[in-house]
Amino acid sequence: MNNKVIGFIGTGVMGQGMVRNLLKKGFKVNIHTRTKVKATQLIAEGAKWMFSVKQLSENSDLIITMIGTPRDVEAVYFGSDGLIENSKAGTLLIDMTTSKPSLAKNIYDIANVKGVQSLDAPVSGGDVGAQNGKLTIMVGGDEAAFNEALPVFEAMGENIRLQGPAGAGQHTKVVNQVSIAPAMIGMVEALVYAEKAHLDSELVLKSIGTGAAGSWSLDNYAPRIIKENYDPGFAIKHFIKDMEIAVESAEELGLHAPGLNLALNMYKELEVKGHGEKGIHALMLYYKNA
């Protein structure tokens, strides 16, 4: 697999760490993003810049996308200048964007007609996981394609599982976001309570972090909240997009999710107040009326 050239589209907060880990593992990586300046450091580290999606398609054997919204995914994959139309036969396309399960299935079906393979492989773990190569990767698609991509996934993550056919990876990511959204409310409210009770929040974390209240979010977000560091690992505006996908997907399955809807509305209020670029742990600002 290391002799195959990897194309990577999207070098934002997550993409940068993922590309860097691919380079560290010896992969040749072509990159493209809408804003070239975001790729400058990666180019200096050995990634090769491609001027368009079409050029990247024609010069890569396995292509990963880590972009913004389902609409962005559609723009990159479909059309005369898109990945499916311009990729070589046998190319493996892997969308690691959090997107719609129905779109993942559509990409799979259309790519197959063109002789191109595809996987949907959204991730969890935030900027820390991307930087450290410890992402959780949830995959949907054919087992043969998954096995082909596994060495690439292993360069970026640790908990890597094929969840089922096309769309199953995106459905699993919805499950992840449905779990996180109400849990963020609980974690932030707990910190607010500790503050109002005049407790030492850092000391509180040392007690509750090893018990039933312990979680990845508590370990990684709570210390940032205590320090009032709301820099994004995962921005509120992107979480809102994920939750909207989750609400839509839940409705398609006939599921009413009040906890998810409550969290979505709270985060939308923060976005209206200008906090969309901050990390999702900035939910604390909702309670501070900031």
**Is pLDDT at 181 greater than 70 in this prediction?**
yes
Annotated domain spans of the chain: 5-164, 171-287
**Is pLDDT at 2 greater than 90 in this prediction?**
no
Token pair for residue 139? 């995959």
Confidence class of residue 38 from pLDDT cuts 50, 70 and 90?
confident
Residue 84 near residue 110 (C-beta atoms within 8 A): yes
**CA–CA separation, 101 vs 91, rounded Å?**
21
**Is pLDDT at 93 greater than 60 in this prediction?**
yes
Dihedral sign of CA atoms 80, 82, 87, 92 in order: negative
With vertex at residue 8, the alpha carbon angle to CA 124 and CA 39, rounded to the nearest 5 degrees, is 95
Burial label for 220, CB within 10 Å (0-12, 13-18, 19+), is: middle
Give the rounded percent of residues in the chain with a pLDDT score beyond 70: 99
Active site residues: 173
By DSSP bridging, strand 28-32 and strand 5-9 are: parallel
Tens-digit pLDDT profile for residues 252-271:
999 999 999 999 999 999 99
- 5-164 CATH, one of 3.40.50.720, 3.30.450.40, 3.30.420.40, 3.40.50.970: 3.40.50.720
Give the rounded percent of residues in the chain with a pLDDT score beyond 90: 92
**Is pLDDT at 99 greater than 90 in this prediction?**
yes
Tens-digit pLDDT profile for residues 100-129:
999 999 999 999 999 999 999 999 988 889
**Is pLDDT at 290 greater than 90 in this prediction?**
no
What pairs with residue 92 in β-bridges?
62, 117
Token pair for residue 115? 């002789």
**Is pLDDT at 205 greater than 60 in this prediction?**
yes
Confidence class of residue 1 from pLDDT cuts 50, 70 and 90?
low
**CA–CA separation, 65 vs 163, rounded Å?**
19
**CA–CA separation, 256 vs 118, rounded Å?**
31
261 phi and psi angles, rounded to 5 deg: -65, -40
Which run of H or of E encompasses 41?
helix 40-44
DSSP assignment letter at 117: E
pLDDT average, residue stretch 235-243:
94
CATH 1.10.1040.10 fits 171-287, yes or no: yes
32 phi and psi angles, rounded to 5 deg: -150, 140
Residue 137 near residue 159 (C-beta atoms within 8 A): yes
- Tokens 């393979």 correspond to 117
pLDDT at 35: 87
By DSSP bridging, strand 48-49 and strand 62-65 are: unpaired
User: What average pLDDT is seen over the chain?
Assistant: 96
Confidence class of residue 287 from pLDDT cuts 50, 70 and 90?
very high
**Cα dist from 26 to 1, 5, 29, 149, 210, whole Å:** 10, 11, 9, 15, 38
